[in-house]
Structure 1
């Protein structure tokens, strides 16, 4: 989290917020800090305070592009003019909030749902006794937002255009239906709370997830389906990100070959490749351009495992198939399976190494949903 102040009053509020969220970085005007230190003897005691000097526009641009929650203490008009050229869309813009220097109001400015700015606004307002200002239509109407839910439970939305369509339909009072695979229902029921913005989920027939939702349910004008496999009739799909791919490949593979292998592996376990939450590979593939490019295109992290880590994981899991060829080549007897397991402390292997052309893939699953307990600090 980055907190930017432009006045002496704003700097005082920034320090108040910094005391509540010690992990935040405070960006205070150099001239104001010098004056405050001379007046009251307050000195910077750690690395959480930084000073900025003109230009403010350049400072805000750098922090906006960092992708972390951005709090601006000052006039809303100033902020809007300075960040307007940087705005892309709700999937990529960071959550942005504005506070007046008296701490009377907290305004959710940008990325209210997907970036959780609305949630952060409420939390900050409660913490400092301010009035939260939230203007998104569904929040004003007291309706849940599907993109907020998807972000909190780490699900991929497809297509994005349907988010607006469904929100508009809900505001018009149109009826819709929510379906989820039976295997996800216990987690949804257990974790149902106002913080998760629960929906009235109905079970999707796990035996035939690609069929039309049950005709016994009331007719609806739209449907949302939470499933690992695509349901063509769904207005909007939510793909839970519960898979990690351990990947190996020959030198010089293409992005298309990586994509084909990952899609094939996911299909073998009954999932869409959009259920992946990350890739994992060994130190020997740390610079493999196709792997990094595919992960970048899908905005997924890549875990790089060292030889010692992989060797230890192989010993811990003797059931992992060994390869003398792999051992002669890179010094360890397996790569994909241990790499997949190393990417998450609770990973469980569900697919051993599968060869698709020049690419090998193993899959591990992790617990889902992975809820974010503190929306303010999630992206700090």
Structure 2
């Protein structure tokens, strides 16, 4: 599920002026929606009202936004978000900007949440000073979770990433092993030759797996989730690499598929029959499906069309009880 919105929180008239300035400048350069929240006495048609308190306003939206910019004292921001913080790999980023726009400080999810990058962007727009306190950034070195964020990947473990990042910060030699083309040479194992007794290892899962789903009407989310899990397991693929689920337009209201995409926290892309007809010749056809839907294949074309299309089908059709699953693996290097 994409997080495209940024929330600006402010409780003063001067803060609203700065918030509107940030919104205008940011929208001119970047493609993210910005919503300004403020007290009712300062609110107008460009803002949303903080009804009871900042904390109450954040309760239902905190994990649904990309990030929040507090134009308040740092203490207000910290107290407002404290009870909603879960983990650095899922929390939105949170920044604090002073009313004069002199300083921008990330206080939550600087790396994985994109807070440090957003800080630099806002700082550049306002000609402000970005205050970065993460050790990798102040030393001019890149952290493992930053690498994961930049390639839209998923960390195997926050703990192992932290250990390897600490070695990077300390100036130790670290190697990044990436196949020439992950879709063709995805390794099943790695041999490390070293005289070091202890070697810290971490893994980043590229988000390059697209799943196509076809199912009978009314199939439960539990069955679809189980089918997807079993299919990934069959091909030794991690759920952490799942990027998108695709299905045909006549299934756009299929609750089981919608809920399955929410369970895996990925986008659900609806593919039109007209799009499928253009490429269905590349896939094994089903006479029953063709008579029923007017197209010869569903899950395979949907898996391909839901992705960026460059790559390969690694499982064209895996059948379960009333469910068909297809797996498409994108290239992650050569097509950028």
1:376: which partner in 2? none
Superposed CA deviations along residues 257-295 of structure 1, whole A, max 9, x for unmatched, are 33112332x44xxx5454321111233475353x55554
CA drift at 1:109 = 0.8
Matches of 1:370 and 1:116, distance apart in 2: 24
CA drift at 1:211 = 3.7
CA drift at 1:89 = 0.7
TM norm structure 2: 0.83
1:190-201 counterparts in 2 under 5 A?
Answer: none
Of 116, 122, 125, the residue aligned with 1:124 is 122
Superposed CA deviations along residues 335-377 of structure 1, whole A, max 9, x for unmatched, are 11221133135355524632244343223344535999xxxxx
Matches of 2:335 and 2:115, distance apart in 1: 16
1:69-148 counterparts in 2 under 5 A?
Answer: 69-148=67-146
Matches of 1:263 and 1:206, distance apart in 2: 19
1:338-353 counterparts in 2 under 5 A?
Answer: 338-344=301-307, 346-351=309-314, 353=316
Counterpart secondary structure, 2:107 = strand
CA drift at 1:133 = 1.3
Say whether residues 1:279 and 2:249 are aligned partners.
no
Say whether residues 1:361 and 2:325 are aligned partners.
yes
Coordinate RMSD, CA, aligned: 3.1
Counterpart secondary structure, 2:99 = coil
Specify every segment of 5 or more residues in structure 1 that has no aligned partner in the other structure, as ranges. 35-43, 186-204, 224-234, 373-380
Q: In the superposition, relative to structure 1, how do residues 344 and 92 fare at CA in structure 2: closer, same or farther (>3 Å)?
A: same
Counterpart secondary structure, 2:106 = strand
Q: In the superposition, relative to structure 1, how do residues 177 and 219 fare at CA in structure 2: closer, same or farther (>3 Å)?
A: farther
1:152: which partner in 2? 150
CA drift at 1:297 = 3.9
TM norm structure 1: 0.74
Of 228, 247, 262, the residue aligned with 1:258 is 228
Counterpart secondary structure, 1:151 = helix
1:212: which partner in 2? 191
Superposed CA deviations along residues 217-258 of structure 1, whole A, max 9, x for unmatched, are 6758435xxxxxxxxxxx211221222111224535363333
Q: In the superposition, relative to structure 1, how do residues 371 and 92 fare at CA in structure 2: closer, same or farther (>3 Å)?
A: farther
Of 14, 21, 31, the residue aligned with 2:19 is 14
Q: In the superposition, relative to structure 1, how do residues 183 and 348 fare at CA in structure 2: closer, same or farther (>3 Å)?
A: closer
Contact 2:276–2:298, Cα closer than 8 Å, also in 1: no
Matches of 1:211 and 1:261, distance apart in 2: 24
1:248: which partner in 2? 214
Matches of 1:182 and 1:150, distance apart in 2: 18
Contact 1:340–1:349, Cα closer than 8 Å, also in 2: no
Specify every segment of 5 or more residues in structure 2 that has no aligned partner in the other structure, as ranges. 1-5, 28-32
Q: In the superposition, relative to structure 1, how do residues 371 and 133 fare at CA in structure 2: closer, same or farther (>3 Å)?
A: farther
Matches of 2:66 and 2:20, distance apart in 1: 18
Contact 1:336–1:362, Cα closer than 8 Å, also in 2: yes
CA drift at 1:98 = 0.5
Of 2, 15, 25, the residue aligned with 2:35 is 25
Matches of 2:296 and 2:264, distance apart in 1: 30
Say whether residues 1:236 and 2:236 are aligned partners.
no
2:8: which partner in 1? 3
